[in-house]
């Protein structure tokens, strides 16, 4: 947390369109800082595909310690067409999440005014929930291996790891979050898992969930199997308030969430370490979109929303709320579409429109 009203921000613009959308998020930060009367310092970190191709390293020695000197991290996008799949994902993004123990992946699914959803007859009133995804365990832990690799007898394992500590801390955080969110339609936390098949790992999750629920009598402790959840997210998204789920299922259902809220141009998320002194990282959910790089056509709304989340979680909640309000004014009244190249404006113009909305 920034105690002296000076926000120290680490910025990883990253690859492809990452730096372009990051520039718009920073443009908005500059405007809101002036309005709200706080200052900030930015430190650029040149990590990503280009850096990897030049140096062979994904996350340089000592990088995490440097990043942790900041109040928060803003990440544009990583992913490069010349880097094989998995290298940057595991070596950079997941490594950052794990090393900084950002155990909450917070992904709001909110349909902003004026944004088109593929769901027939659903409105911003219907699509407004939050997914809390566990962010450090599960099949993402990287435990597994090959036996007789490349032979007809090959065996591969990829183990899902769940710990009591790992699920309890994120479940507790999700209950707290549901309480604070205070949905006027009723506070409901839905555990999404697969207890009918994953009878060890998700039994641990379920037992932990039921135990923690006792400390939150005002929150309805609800359960959905993940397959049914996918169905309900499409048919009745208005059912959900807050979902808490495992890393792998959370990855999948948040892409579904992303598309029902209007696509990767608008979906933002936070990788949060809520512990005192923890460093959190905020990012638009879309990738580096190499084919749009340098064309000034990519949608910066997700990146600007990620900046708003960063502000909300880094000691400037009023600033974050104002940025969200400005974003919704722009999507509601100024943009033709949320797809790259079809917004009716360029990337930089959308950033300018959000700044203009802030300045009222």
Which H helix or E strand runs over 220?
Answer: strand 220-225
Shortest spacing between CB 202 and ligand IPM, in angstroms: 19
What is the secondary structure of 234-272 as a DSSP string?
A: HH-GGG-SEEEE-HHHHHHHHHHHHHHTT-TTT-EEEEE
Binding flags for Mn ion, 242-261, as an x/- string (CB under 5 A) = ---------x----------
Closer CB to ligand IPM, residue 40 or residue 52? Answer: 52
Q: Closest separation between CB of residue 214 and ligand IPM, Å?
A: 31
- 130, 127, 129: which is closest to 115 by C-alpha? 127
Q: By CB under 6 A, tell whether 301 contacts ligand IPM.
A: no
Which of 90, 122 has the CB closer to ligand IPM?
90
Q: What's the rounded Cα separation, in Å, for the pair 95 and 136?
A: 10
In the complex, what is the shortest distance from the CB of residue 27 to ligand IPM, in angstroms, rounded to a whole number?
24
First CA to last CA distance, the chain: 28
Residue 89 binds ligand IPM, judged by CB under 6 A: yes
| Chain length of the chain | 360
**Are 135 and 247 in contact, with CB atoms under 8 Å apart?**
yes
| Between 35 and 252, CB nearer to Mn ion | 252
Which residue's CB is nearer to ligand IPM, number 96 or number 357?
96
Q: Are 29 and 310 in contact (CB under 8 A)?
A: no
Provide, rounded to whole angstroms, the least separation between the CB of residue 219 and ligand IPM: 26
Complex with Mn ion: residue 248 or 325, whichever CB lies closer:
248
Q: Which position among 50, 176, 251, 349 is part of the footprint of ligand IPM (CB under 6 A)?
A: 251
Per the CB < 8 A criterion, the answer to whether 326 and 335 are in contact is no
Determine if 95 is a binding residue for ligand IPM (CB under 6 A): no
C-alpha span between 341 and 23 (Å, rounded): 18
Minimum separation from the CB atom of position 50 to ligand IPM (A): 17
Using CB under 6 A, list all residues that contact ligand IPM.
89, 93-94, 251
């Amino acid at each position: 947390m920034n105690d002296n009203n000076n926000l120290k921000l680490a910025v990883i613009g990253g690859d492809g369109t990452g730096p372009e959308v990051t520039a718009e998020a920073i443009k908005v930060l500059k405007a809101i800082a002036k309005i709200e009367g706080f200052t900030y310092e930015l430190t650029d970190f040149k990590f990503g595909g280009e850096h990897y191709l030049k140096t062979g390293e994904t996350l340089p020695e000592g990088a995490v310690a440097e990043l942790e000197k900041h109040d928060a991290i803003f990440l544009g996008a990583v992913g490069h067409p010349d880097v094989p799949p998995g290298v940057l994902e595991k070596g950079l993004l997941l490594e950052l999440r794990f090393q900084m123990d950002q155990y909450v992946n917070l992904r709001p699914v909110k349909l902003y005014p004026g944004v088109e959803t593929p769901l027939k007859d659903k409105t911003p009133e219907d699509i407004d929930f939050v997914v809390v995804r566990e962010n450090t365990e599960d099949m993402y832990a990287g435990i597994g291996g090959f036996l007789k690799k490349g032979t007809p007898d090959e065996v591969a394992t990829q183990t899902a790891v769940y710990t009591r500590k790992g699920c309890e801390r994120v479940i507790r955080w999700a209950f707290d979050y549901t309480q604070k969110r205070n949905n006027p339609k009723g506070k409901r936390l839905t555990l999404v898992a697969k207890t009918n098949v994953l009878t060890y790992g998700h039994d641990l999750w379920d037992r932990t969930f039921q135990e923690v629920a006792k400390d939150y009598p005002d929150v309805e402790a609800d359960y959905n199997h993940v397959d049914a959840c996918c169905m309900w997210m499409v048919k009745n998204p208005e059912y959900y308030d807050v979902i808490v789920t495992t890393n792998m299922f959370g990855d999948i259902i948040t892409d579904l969430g992303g598309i029902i809220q209007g696509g990767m141009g608008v979906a933002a998320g936070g990788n949060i370490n809520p512990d005192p002194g923890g460093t959190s990282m905020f990012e638009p959910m879309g990738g580096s979109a190499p084919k749009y790089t340098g064309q000034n056509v990519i949608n910066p709304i997700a990146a600007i929303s990620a900046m708003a989340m960063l502000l909300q979680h880094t000691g400037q909640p009023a600033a974050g709320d104002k940025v969200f309000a400005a974003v919704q004014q722009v999507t509601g009244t100024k943009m033709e579409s949320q797809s790259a190249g079809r917004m009716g404006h360029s990337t930089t113009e959308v950033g300018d429109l959000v700044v203009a909305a802030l300045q009222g």
